[in-house]
Copies of this chain bind each other. A is one copy, B any other.
Amino acid sequence: MTHRPTARPPAARTGPTRRGLLGWFAGVAGVGVAGSALAGCSSGPAARGDATTAVSATSSKVDFHGAHQAGIATPAQDRLHFAAFDLLTTDKAAVVAMLRAWSDAAARMSDGRPVDASYDAPVLDPAAAPGDTGEADGLNAARLTITIGFGRSMFTKLGLTDRLPPGLVELPAFPGERLDARRSDGDIAIQACADDPQVAVHAIRNLVRLSRGTASLRWSQLGFGRTSSNSSSQATPRNLFGFKDGTANLRAEDPAAFDRSVWVAPDEAGSPAWMAGGSYLVARRIRMLLEVWDRTSLGEQEQVIGRHRLSGAPLGAAAENDPIRLAALPADSHVRLAHPDTNGGAAMVRRGYSFVDENDSLGRLDAGLFFLAYVRDPRTQFVPIMQKLAQNDAMNEYLSHVGSGLWAVPPGVQPGGYWGSGLFA
């Protein structure tokens, strides 16, 4: 087989973005066809041309760098690819090298660019495997955010237990849960959220590729419909029970609430300095027993949730965002049990996604909610609420918790830095 080189003219290396490629080669998404945009270009099919023609699409980007990681207070994107990794090494230097490579890649992809700088070159080397897997070429950044967390097992594996953050506890066994080890835990977790599933998948796939030899994908989960709203500009979506989910979530517009409930403070009692500005990520894969729920009467469904189904209004109120009168809700309703007022003010920012995977041999869909939440301290926020829900929630009859994980989320990355630089310093 003869290999023809994929030559490009030696153009200025002005850092064309993935959108630059888009503007030049493929037309603007949904509008043009590659051929016409390229018609005036005689220098071969892989010629990238002048990158200064790149289409501006700033609104599709979320900055990767900052005091906090993106993807936590960011208004929820539509799609999720979540991945848990296990380290294949106990060598801290190798892990740091991977985290550096990952951080660089995440910054580039969040900016709508290919994962690897070699892919920016005016001439791609036909003898080398491309630096980017390519399926996101021509797509914009789709508000991609990539967020990392470190599990307890990573601290043990790397001999870092003296730096273990106090909130990174072993989660207790909760009544009724049926956890599958193949859907739980992991040394490192990565949440990729974007408004286009291909962009989220592209991000995880390329991080998996960069981890080769150092870490291995342990489990992963796609989510297709966000079930949480954490911006007042987003309408509250419905979960697979048909109810609005996320009405009372923390709002991106309320940074004080994030300071109270999500971000680890610089002077957090007993917390190592490297966690300041960080958070904790809890994941629960919650299978929803749709067949049972679908046979339940509307009245019963509303009593179980504590809200009206069509409007989303709390029982006893008229509209979705009316104040909740807890006394008007059944004592075992989900909304009442989970409400901050019945949990000493404890709140969390939820970023859940619906999932539908396959079906079992009885034809029941493996579907439900992939619950993701960020908290300042799992010991006072997630654990006690979960314990109460596991014991009392009327919804338990329709649920099964089959996966679980808790990770310490380091603070944001500064330009030139990397995820967890404070921990590994």
Contacts and interface: CB of A to CB of B under 8 A. Distances in A.
B290 A44 contact: no
Interface in A39-89: 39, 41-42, 44-46, 48, 79, 81
A107 interface: no
Contacts of A126: 297-299, 302
Provide the main secondary structure of the chain A interface: loop
Interface string A306-320: 001111110101111
Contact of A310 (B45, B220, B300): B45
A234 B294 contact: no
Contacts of A297: 3, 126-129
A21 interface: yes
Contact of A205 (B32, B134, B365): B365
A34 interface: yes
A21 B217 contact: no
B298 A356 contact: no
Interface of A: 1-6, 21, 25-27, 29-36, 38-39, 41-42, 44-46, 48, 79, 81, 124-130, 132-138, 197-198, 201, 205, 208-209, 216-220, 222, 224-225, 232-244, 290-291, 294-303, 308-313, 315, 317-322, 330, 332, 354, 356-359, 362-365, 367, 394
Contacts of A124: 298, 310
A112 B365 CA distance: 23
